[in-house]
Amino acid sequence: MRKRLYERISRVSQYIGNMKLQTKLVASYILIILIPIIVFSIYMFNDSYQSTIKDTIKSNQYMIEMEYSSMMNNIELMERTAQLMLSDDKVMEYVLVKQEMATEALMEFSRTVMPNLIRLQFNNPNIAHIRLYTDNDQVKEIWPIFLHESRIADKPWYDEVMQQNGVEIWEFDAEDKDVMRRASTDIDQNKAKISLLREIRSSPSGHVGIAQIDMYLEHFFPKAFSNVQDGQSQVLLLDRHSRFYYNKQHPFLADIPLDELRQSFQNHLADSGQSYFEIAFDGVPYICIYKKLDLLDTYLINVVSLQEPLNKIHATRNMLIVVSVMLIAILSLITYLTSRILFKRLRNLQNSMKRVRSGDFQVKIDVHGGGEVGEIAYHFKMLMKKINSLIADAVNKQAAAKEAELNALKNQIDSHFLYNTLENLKMLAEVEGQYAISDSLTSLGGMMRYNLQWTSNYVQLSGEIKHIRNYIAIMNIRYDDRISLQLYVPPVYMDQEILKMSLQPIIENAVQHGLQTTEHGEELPLVLSIKVHDMQNATIIEVMDNGKGISAERVHQVNQMIRMNDLDFRQVSRISQGTAYKGNGIGLRNVNQRVEMNYGPDYGIQVQSVEGQYTSVSIKLPKLLLEI
């Protein structure tokens, strides 16, 4: 997958690189204009959308608050009506009567009490019904207020009212059915209503009856059932039984599946604390703002369509796109014509270069004037003069080069001559009994063969150790056998791959800086050891000496100098030339650079030392076996 992506990017880069400069300029100019327009358009449309959402939420929340206030007033009205009815002592005396009332008393009650109750309803035109149901068999039904409780025993809310012990409950009903069950009635049964229901209890008698105050939803809930609608929103009421109540004559909700709306609303209540949520039906976005009526355990939900404001935003966007396209087209044409004039001299220069590429070095470059193109043309003319001059010089020098090559061949020293000469000197030393000289010549010859036979950068560890042995043998001639070498290299590591001549600079460094003498001038021996072991899939070659060591500060400085860049290293080297410590770590630095160059930055060397005790240089290499 990554390779395929890289290939596609390479093809696109190659295609762009092959485009003409004029085409690149026009394309760049278009992009310079197009990208800000796109970014600005995205920002503007997003900002417009968010502003539309905020304005819609704000305006409809205000409308919800107004509706909420109106409903609370209606609730207060219904509660006050129930309280006025039940606070009438004569009403309570009537429903608590112990025996059937005489005709005169009943007529007196109908003449004096009933008009007050009927007047209570007429004075509040939003009240649909005031009813009092009683289970007292001695009470006579007086329509439309006093009725027997048996007429509502089958109502779904009856048991719930009886369980509340006098606490009122609120119940919604989609129909206003006639409790008298008459064939014909003046009651509009298709009207939805809300009922305040409260059990009437008396201390000595217990249950007395049930009071019911009804109000049609078109009065209780005026916004939803209003005949004047804006066409882009509608208010619904969701009761505690998850039933919707709304004006079904309004076509706004005809295309909205109420079951999905109910489910989305319930999911939102479970997941969010915001008072609104967004939803879409058939690609049309809506925003729903809601408020809870705690007293009724009911939600007011205002469903608002965002189609119209979004259409305005889209119209603005389309207009901006058309204007932008026209502007880009005009500017592109102007840019193309202008660049064609500007690049005319550049095309002439390009044609001249093509003729030079075909072999015509005497071409006349017909480009004049100043500016960058004129300067390039001038330098190209000078270049052609220089090329013609160099061609002439090359012809003259070719013969001289051949002659110099022959002379160089004559002056070469044959490496075999050196080996044979050293071998003759070695045999002469043995004949004369100078065995130390003979061994030294043997070691020197081995070192020369190792140095001159450079067929590869990589050798086996065994070959590098053999070279080190020869080097120490020669150094012991100078230092009277004060240097000894100890190997702790298991046979399995002898075939380990190592860079040629990477151990010798470390050994040389140890010999140069490790040899020490006592206060009395006694020369102390120097013991060098080479240890090899594994560490995390890598091979560690440790070269240690028992010399005088270096300070911790100097160890830190050397490790830094080994890994710093060339510019910083030269600067630090110049500063440290005047210090007491003469070594600048260049040998160790060269080894580290070769290791990193061949194996990567995870490998290299590390110096450790304790002043007066030892110095250790560790080389970290990948675990590789070299077969020869």
The identity of residue 42, as a single letter, is I
Q: In 3D, which of 219, 267, 223 has the Cα closest to residue 242?
A: 267
pLDDT value for 524? 85
Lowest mean pLDDT segment, chosen from 212-226, 340-354, 361-375: 361-375
pLDDT value for 583? 55
pLDDT value for 80? 92
- Across the range 256-267, mean pLDDT stands at 88
- Judge residue 618's burial from the number of C-beta atoms within 10 Å of its C-beta, 0-12 exposed, 13-18 middle, 19 or more buried: middle
pLDDT value for 581? 47
pLDDT value for 426? 64
Identity of the highest mean pLDDT range in 347-351, 495-499, 578-582: 495-499
pLDDT band with cut points at 50, 70 and 90 for residue 223: confident
The residue ranges of every structural domain in the chain are 88-179+188-220, 345-410, 486-493+501-622
**Tokens representing residue 91 in the block:** 């009403």
pLDDT digits (tens, 9 = 90+) for 14-39: 766 666 666 777 777 777 777 887 78
Residue 49 scores a pLDDT above 70: yes
Reduced DSSP (H G I as helix, E B as strand, rest coil) percent helix, strand, coil of the chain, to 5: 55, 20, 25
CB atoms within 10 A of CB 54: 10
pLDDT value for 328? 78
- How many angstroms separate the CA atoms of 422 and 417, rounded? 9
pLDDT value for 571? 77
More confidently predicted of 409 and 223: 223
pLDDT value for 406? 42
pLDDT digits (tens, 9 = 90+) for 116-147: 888 888 888 889 889 999 988 888 888 888 99
- CATH code for residues 486-493+501-622: 3.30.565.10
Lowest mean pLDDT segment, chosen from 92-96, 361-365, 487-491, 617-621: 361-365
Residue 59 scores a pLDDT above 90: no
Q: Which contiguous run of DSSP H or E holds residue 284? A: strand 284-293
- Coil, strand or helix at 294: coil
More confidently predicted of 448 and 537: 537
pLDDT value for 278? 87
pLDDT value for 542? 95
pLDDT value for 419? 59
Mean pLDDT of the chain: 80
- The yes/no answer on whether domain 88-179+188-220 falls in CATH 2.160.20 is no
- How many angstroms separate the CA atoms of 422 and 427, rounded? 9
pLDDT value for 205? 63
pLDDT value for 422? 64
Considering the chain, what percentage of its residues have pLDDT values greater than 70?
80
- Across the range 396-403, mean pLDDT stands at 54
Residue 10 scores a pLDDT above 80: no
Q: What are phi and psi of 129, to 5 degrees?
A: -145, 145
pLDDT digits (tens, 9 = 90+) for 415-444: 555 556 666 666 766 666 666 777 677 777
More confidently predicted of 44 and 628: 44
**Tokens representing residue 472 in the block:** 């120490």
pLDDT value for 532? 94
- Across the range 488-502, mean pLDDT stands at 90
CB atoms within 10 A of CB 27: 15
pLDDT band with cut points at 50, 70 and 90 for residue 397: low
Lowest mean pLDDT segment, chosen from 73-87, 172-186, 606-620: 172-186
pLDDT band with cut points at 50, 70 and 90 for residue 211: very high
pLDDT value for 272? 66
Report yes or no: 123 and 80 within 8 Å, Cβ to Cβ: no
More confidently predicted of 591 and 584: 591
Q: In 3D, which of 269, 129, 123, 108 has the Cα closest to residue 195?
A: 129
Report yes or no: 415 and 384 within 8 Å, Cβ to Cβ: no
Residue 603 scores a pLDDT above 50: yes
Farthest CA pair distance, the chain: 169
Residue 212 scores a pLDDT above 90: yes
Residue 382 scores a pLDDT above 60: yes
Q: Distance from CA of residue 198 to its chain's centroid?
A: 60
- How many angstroms separate the CA atoms of 168 and 163, rounded? 11
Report yes or no: 518 and 535 within 8 Å, Cβ to Cβ: no
pLDDT band with cut points at 50, 70 and 90 for residue 570: confident
Question: Please, where are the H alpha helices in 360-460?
Answer: 371-411, 415-431, 435-452
pLDDT digits (tens, 9 = 90+) for 455-472: 778 888 998 898 888 888
- Across the range 68-74, mean pLDDT stands at 90
Contacts of 207 (CB under 8 A, 6+ apart): 135, 162, 199, 200, 201
Contacts of 258 (CB under 8 A, 6+ apart): 244
Lowest mean pLDDT segment, chosen from 163-167, 214-218, 332-336: 332-336
pLDDT value for 472? 87
Contacts of 540 (CB under 8 A, 6+ apart): 532, 533, 534, 618, 619, 620, 621
Residue 298 scores a pLDDT above 60: yes
pLDDT value for 54? 84
Please state, in angstroms and as integers, the Cα–Cα distance from residue 114 to each residue in 142, 235, 362, 518, following that order. Answer: 9, 38, 128, 133
pLDDT band with cut points at 50, 70 and 90 for residue 232: confident
Query: What are the CB-based long-range contacts (under 8 Å, 24+) for 470-474?
Result: 470/443, 470/444, 470/446, 471/443, 471/447, 471/504, 471/507, 471/508, 472/507, 472/528, 473/439, 473/440, 473/443, 474/440, 474/443, 474/444, 474/447
pLDDT digits (tens, 9 = 90+) for 508-533: 888 888 888 877 778 789 999 999 99
pLDDT value for 181? 64
- How many angstroms separate the CA atoms of 409 and 401, rounded? 12
More confidently predicted of 435 and 87: 87
pLDDT value for 619? 94
Report yes or no: 438 and 430 within 8 Å, Cβ to Cβ: yes
Taking only Cα atoms into account, the Rg of the chain, rounded to an integer number of angstroms, comes to: 53
Please state, in angstroms and as integers, the Cα–Cα distance from residue 109 to each residue in 92, 96, 98, 100, 138, following that order. Answer: 12, 14, 16, 13, 14
More confidently predicted of 142 and 359: 142
Q: What are phi and psi of 502, to 5 degrees?
A: -95, -20
- How many angstroms separate the CA atoms of 552 and 538, rounded? 27
- How many angstroms separate the CA atoms of 165 and 201, rounded? 8
